[in-house]
A and B are shown apart, each in its own frame.
Chain A
Amino acid sequence: MSTSESLRLFGPELVLGGALLLVIFVDLASAGRDRRGEWPATIAMIAAAATIVLSVGFPLLDWPGLAAQAARPTWLFDRMLVLDPFAVFFKTLLGLSLLAAVTMSLASREIGQSRNQGEYYTVLLGSTLGMFLMASASHLLMAYLALEFVSLTSYVLTGFLRHNRRSSEAALKYLIYGGVASGAMIFGMSWIYGLAGSMDYARIGAALATLPDGNRLALFLATVLVLTGFGYKIAAVPFHMWAPDVYTGAPLPVTTFLAVGSKAAGFAMLLRFFDFGVGPGGPIGGVVKVPLVELVAAVSAITMLLGNMAALSQTNVKRLLAYSSIAHAGYALLGVAVFAERGVAAVLLYLAVYYVMNLGAFWVALLVVNETGREDLDAFRGLAWRGGAVASVTLAVFLFSLAGLPPLAGFIGKLYVFAAGIQGKLYWLVVWGALNSVVSLYYYARIVKLMFLDQPTADDRPVRFPAADLGAVTVLSVLTIYLGVRFEWLYQTAVAASRLFKG
């Protein structure tokens, strides 16, 4: 599709770009008078809401949205991007992540005390724009640029608390790991270009279908190298080392944004790349050229194990949630390792459910960090008995959901992923994942224990949380329970979104 036609189907990205420019202008015009960053935050929030409406449509105004157009999937910008239900699914999820990040930023003390609110929201919007492109890129170059765009903005967001040493250290570590990972990735991409003679996903797929057997090793190496980049983005072991430091050092809204949004975008890119290109589900047509299933399954298994094992001994709530989100990348990778549409659908469902419960958990953590000024787990001691009953109950819901207990949403996520694994005959990995969720219960329950089972000591002062935030986390916890009981619609959406457009 030509550029002018493509622009019509590029609404959410245009909104984000426009909002980004607007924030810069507003910030310049107010020249530092707007200390609390209300204008930039408002613009970012409207932009986030607009992208969601543009993506899913708005029945009241009879606006069909991209979802309707994506029913007839198409290429955009000369096959650089693709518009299909899969992309729209992720655009919605990423728009929601932006909305959550902005709302949390408004509640966050760390962000609120900063003087550079305008910059913050500019970079946040830019990062979201990059993620949107990651979700729809269908060309190696576009994919790489989008990934780099997101990475660079993420470094800035992580180091946003300029005078905080941990924040700066985290940003630097993130930058170094990111540089290495993306270097390896583009090296792998260049090999793929060499092997396939094209950078267009669909054409790569077609070319690889006739790849001579002698080049299989080269293709395998290239795949491993590309996987490095993806693994880094989704924080899969062994490319996860940045995550604990970054999640701890970054301000909590940024941590949430990275844990929810950035991870989802990484999965979007990974799924599309494998589905189009070298994956067994791609046009190669069942001729497995590289032992991909084994490779991804192995990464999934060690990601779960290491994430959970490391989380067991954490004493900082951010670090604990960081390792937990590494483990969750492992569960989602189980769905990827199936390399079939039902696996993709399971991953999409998992990411959506993970968004709700992880956002909730981070939000309550933010409230506690705000209120007590502490990040260690002891800040949660006796929380239920010193004025934080609602927050404690909601956090318990989120944590048990993360552990995968029914009838909560997290169970449904795991159920579909495990079901896909059973159908894909990855029995050992499913058993492994199931055992890992038992391990995970231990550290999730540790926080619950601190909140409910332990009595507050004299040092633990009573807490008071803002009603608006309590309302938000209550809504999220109700949603967590609701999705645990009524998940049919979400699964159908995920199934519809799992059929990627292949031209």
Chain B
Amino acid sequence: MIETYVLTWMTFVPLVGALVILCLPSAAHGLIRATAVAATVPSLLLSVWLLGRFDPSNTAPQFVHRFGWIPSYNIEYFLGVDGISITMVALTALLSFLCMFASFGIEKAVKGYFALFLLLETGMMGTFLALDFFLFYVFWELMLLPMYFLIGIWGGPRREYAAIKFFLYTLLGSVLMLVALLYLYFTPDPHSFDMTRLGSLVADKIPLEVQIVLWIALFIGFAIKIPAFPFHTWLPDAHVEAPTAISVILAGVLLKMGTYGILRINYGILPAATLAPFGGASVAFWFLAALGTWNIIYGAFCAMAQRDLKKLVAYSSISHMGYVMLGMAAFTPQGINGAVLQMFNHGTITAMLFLLVGVIYDRAHHRDIEGFGGLASIMPLYTGVTGFAFFAAMGIPGLSAFISEVLVLLGAWRIYPVLTVIAASAVVLTAAYMLWALQRMYLGTPNPKYVATGWEIGRRELFTLAPLAVIVLVLGVYPLLILDLQSPSLIALAEKVVASAPQTTHLAGVAGGR
């Protein structure tokens, strides 16, 4: 019984919570916050249960809940979880839960804030769980509205600009996805939105050139979300203006939807186009590997130039998502596993970073890196946690990002040696901007303004950070916890893409040599 409905509950319990909150009196802030937290708990507990019961060796969707939604158009309500999505689902549930606590500082229109936040969680869960393309699209778009309002109403000074920019960029991507979706839907007879079968249904019905066009249309939709250069410009604006918890969700979960979408849809439905020859190499080379490497370098240099700590973290996200793109373009077991592990690790680490930025912003009301100095002597505990998070982001051995970045580089080495060398050397850049920021903010002589403030990180703030820190530490030592869950599904996916490559490319050796 629970097997059938677990995913539906995980998706819609937050929505029920949102409706309950709408019925509460607006002034009862405590009650609203408690309800919001309570509404995220079932999804979190169920996701833990899911992790325990999930059978990694089975690459087919599990815990499927499926019935006809619009029979005449063959649109289904079809939720399921497999190795590609399971870690993302857990990440969504965890970050949503923690972010509710991080949102307790919100004082303006509390009711609306938490109701929209819970609606957002429903959208995120649904996006990762939907296996019907139409349903996926509906959830994908459903996230836009709450995000627009959450940035636009509760954000910083330039929130309106940031909100509409986010909205327009994402919508531009999703309408291209919609057109590609309709084309794919109408190709097989009977028409189908079933993402698990669509790939095999359309494989020999669409000419390769058209497949490449569809691939690129879908890719643009997802690249905007990742965000990949040159579609990234909404991200710094959105991050800087968004309230802390929303930044966490944005970087922790929403960015992953871009790479998740490429894995699920571009790879899953159009595997032949993924490795089709394109511009002297393959589609995956140009759009994922080369662009991903450029993302790494470009994001790192931009981060280095920032004076605003939040903007620095935002650009570091662009840089770190580049590793995901590079890793998934390699189609080696290490590469694709490293990529998805990096998605999870970046989700936890960047969440920590944004929460920590929020801590100092709540106190100083600015985020100017140059405006602090010597915070270590004022807020030793805070500095300790920040140092931990910064080191995690740098990819220090023993912490989780190290494993995923090394896996990505190992996996990509055999396929794209030049790009891998470039990507690996960017680690130095990451260390540079991270350490430099650390040095300017936390070391040296304290800014006299802040010496006698008696600031320190609060208990609630520590509570939101601690679980993430534990995860970062545990996965740094024992990454198999995650790798075991995702590996069979991901390797099957990579093999499928390599097997359907239209001709012997340089990747063919990988399939043979495995």
Contacts of A492 in B (CB 8 A): 72
15 extra A-B contacts, CB within 8 A, seeds A437-B171, A441-B171: A400-B145, A406-B142, A407-B138, A407-B141, A407-B142, A418-B178, A418-B182, A419-B182, A422-B186, A438-B168, A438-B175, A449-B163, A453-B163, A454-B160, A491-B73
Q: Are B71 and A488 in contact (CB under 8 A)?
A: yes
Which of A418, A435, A445 is most buried by chain B, counting CB atoms within 10 A of its CB? A445
Q: List 9 A-B contacts (CB under 8 A).
A: A419-B185, A422-B182, A434-B179, A435-B175, A437-B175, A438-B172, A441-B167, A445-B167, A491-B73
**Of B70, B168, B178, which one neighbours A442 at CB under 8 angstroms?**
B168
Interface code B104-143, partner A: CB below 8 Å = 1, 0 otherwise? 0000000000000000000000000000000001100110
The residues in B between 34 and 84 inclusive whose CB is less than 8 angstroms from any CB of A are 70-73
Residue A430 CB within 8 A of the other chain:
yes
CA distance A238 to B505 in the complex (A): 52
CA distance A451 to B73 in the complex (A): 37
A423 touching B186 in the complex, CB below 8 Å, given contacts A406-B137, A407-B142: yes
Expressed in whole angstroms, the minimum distance between the Cβ of A351 and any Cβ of chain B is: 19
Interface code A437-453, partner B: CB below 8 Å = 1, 0 otherwise? 11001100100010011
CA distance A418 to B175 in the complex (A): 11
CA distance A297 to B18 in the complex (A): 43
Q: Are A449 and B164 in contact (CB under 8 A)?
A: yes
Residue B488 CB within 8 A of the other chain:
no
The residues in B between 379 and 418 inclusive whose CB is less than 8 angstroms from any CB of A are none
Q: Are B70 and A487 in contact (CB under 8 A)?
A: yes
**Of A415, A419, A431, A438, which one neighbours B171 at CB under 8 angstroms?**
A438
* Range of interface residues on B (Cβ < 8 Å): 20 to 34
Residue B225 CB within 8 A of the other chain:
no
Residue A405 CB within 8 A of the other chain:
yes
A434 touching B167 in the complex, CB below 8 Å, given contacts A405-B144, A453-B159: no
CA distance A488 to B71 in the complex (A): 8
Q: Are A452 and B152 in contact (CB under 8 A)?
A: yes
Q: Are B175 and A434 in contact (CB under 8 A)?
A: yes
Q: Are A452 and B149 in contact (CB under 8 A)?
A: yes
Expressed in whole angstroms, the minimum distance between the Cβ of A430 and any Cβ of chain B is: 6
CA distance A65 to B182 in the complex (A): 37
Residue B148 CB within 8 A of the other chain:
yes
Contacts of B160 in A (CB 8 A): 449, 453-454
A441 touching B141 in the complex, CB below 8 Å, given contacts A419-B186, A435-B175, A488-B70: no
* Range of interface residues on A (Cβ < 8 Å): 20 to 34
Q: Are A405 and B186 in contact (CB under 8 A)?
A: no
Q: Are B72 and A445 in contact (CB under 8 A)?
A: no
Q: Are A418 and B152 in contact (CB under 8 A)?
A: no
Residue of B nearest to A437 (CB): B175
Residue of B nearest to A431 (CB): B179
Q: Are A452 and B153 in contact (CB under 8 A)?
A: yes
Interface code A387-412, partner B: CB below 8 Å = 1, 0 otherwise? 00000000000001000011100010
Residue of B nearest to A439 (CB): B168
A405 touching B145 in the complex, CB below 8 Å, given contacts A453-B153, A488-B72: yes
Q: Are B182 and A441 in contact (CB under 8 A)?
A: no
Contacts of A405 in B (CB 8 A): 141, 144-145, 171
The residues in A between 421 and 479 inclusive whose CB is less than 8 angstroms from any CB of B are 422-423, 427, 430-431, 434-435, 437-438, 441-442, 445, 449, 452-454
Contacts of A437 in B (CB 8 A): 171, 175
Residue B206 CB within 8 A of the other chain:
no
Expressed in whole angstroms, the minimum distance between the Cβ of B308 and any Cβ of chain A is: 22
Residue B443 CB within 8 A of the other chain:
no
Residue B431 CB within 8 A of the other chain:
no
Expressed in whole angstroms, the minimum distance between the Cβ of B441 and any Cβ of chain A is: 32
Q: Are A434 and B178 in contact (CB under 8 A)?
A: yes
Interface code B317-338, partner A: CB below 8 Å = 1, 0 otherwise? 0000000000000000000000
A422 touching B167 in the complex, CB below 8 Å, given contacts A406-B138, A452-B149: no
Contacts of A435 in B (CB 8 A): 172, 175
Residue B176 CB within 8 A of the other chain:
yes
Residue B5 CB within 8 A of the other chain:
no
A441 touching B186 in the complex, CB below 8 Å, given contacts A418-B179, A452-B149: no
Expressed in whole angstroms, the minimum distance between the Cβ of B376 and any Cβ of chain A is: 38
Which of A418, A427, A434 is most buried by chain B, counting CB atoms within 10 A of its CB? A434
Residue of A nearest to B217 (CB): A431
Interface code B145-161, partner A: CB below 8 Å = 1, 0 otherwise? 10011001100000110
Contacts of A487 in B (CB 8 A): 70
Expressed in whole angstroms, the minimum distance between the Cβ of A439 and any Cβ of chain B is: 9
Contacts of B73 in A (CB 8 A): 488, 491
Expressed in whole angstroms, the minimum distance between the Cβ of A347 and any Cβ of chain B is: 17
Q: Are A442 and B164 in contact (CB under 8 A)?
A: yes
The residues in A between 266 and 323 inclusive whose CB is less than 8 angstroms from any CB of B are none
The residues in B between 182 and 205 inclusive whose CB is less than 8 angstroms from any CB of A are 182-183, 185-186
Contacts of B183 in A (CB 8 A): 422, 427
CA distance A181 to B413 in the complex (A): 69
A434 touching B176 in the complex, CB below 8 Å, given contacts A442-B164, A453-B160, A488-B70: yes
CA distance A445 to B167 in the complex (A): 9
Residue of A nearest to B163 (CB): A453
Contacts of B167 in A (CB 8 A): 441, 445
Q: Are B179 and A430 in contact (CB under 8 A)?
A: yes
Contacts of A430 in B (CB 8 A): 179, 182
CA distance A437 to B177 in the complex (A): 13
A491 touching B153 in the complex, CB below 8 Å, given contacts A406-B142, A434-B178: no
Residue of B nearest to A486 (CB): B70
CA distance A427 to B172 in the complex (A): 17
Expressed in whole angstroms, the minimum distance between the Cβ of B219 and any Cβ of chain A is: 15
Contacts of A406 in B (CB 8 A): 137-138, 141-142
